[in-house]
């Protein structure tokens, strides 16, 4: 039996640069979303794993990470989003 044939196809296989190319985003954007932790789209052990003993090298599962990013919704409601009106200064009462 070949070792390559026993490898799980669902295991993370892409570096951050490869994932960025796959989902057509910059690596900085991907890492910024990852740093959001609980409020962001990516989860450790689902979308990515750390390679080795440290926390510097990541391996991503491209399909799962792409789906997580596409289905991500921000936590704030539309009433909490800052909008800008036509008036140049806020009106104080």
Where does residue 5 rank: exposed (0-12), middle (13-18), buried (19+ CB within 10 A)? exposed
User: How does pLDDT run across 48-83, given as a tens digit for each residue?
Assistant: 999 888 778 899 999 999 999 888 876 666 566 666
Question: pTM to 2 decimals?
Answer: 0.64
Does residue 38 sit within a domain? yes
Does residue 88 sit within a domain? no
Does residue 43 sit within a domain? yes
Structural contact between residues 14 and 61, judged by C-beta atoms closer than 8 angstroms: yes
Structural domain harbouring 49? 9-70
Does residue 16 sit within a domain? yes
Does residue 87 sit within a domain? no
Does residue 64 sit within a domain? yes
Does residue 18 sit within a domain? yes
Percent of the chain with pLDDT over 90: 44
The number of domains in the chain is 1
């Amino acid at each position: 039996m070949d070792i390559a044939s026993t490898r799980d196809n669902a295991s993370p296989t892409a570096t951050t640069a490869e994932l960025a190319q796959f989902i057509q985003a910059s690596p900085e954007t991907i890492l910024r979303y990852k740093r959001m932790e609980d409020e962001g789209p990516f989860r450790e052990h689902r979308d990515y794993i750390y390679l080795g003993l440290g926390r510097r090298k990541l391996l991503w599962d491209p399909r799962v990470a792409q789906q997580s990013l596409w289905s991500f919704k921000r936590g704030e409601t539309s009433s909490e989003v800052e909008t800008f009106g036509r008036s140049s200064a806020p009106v104080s009462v």
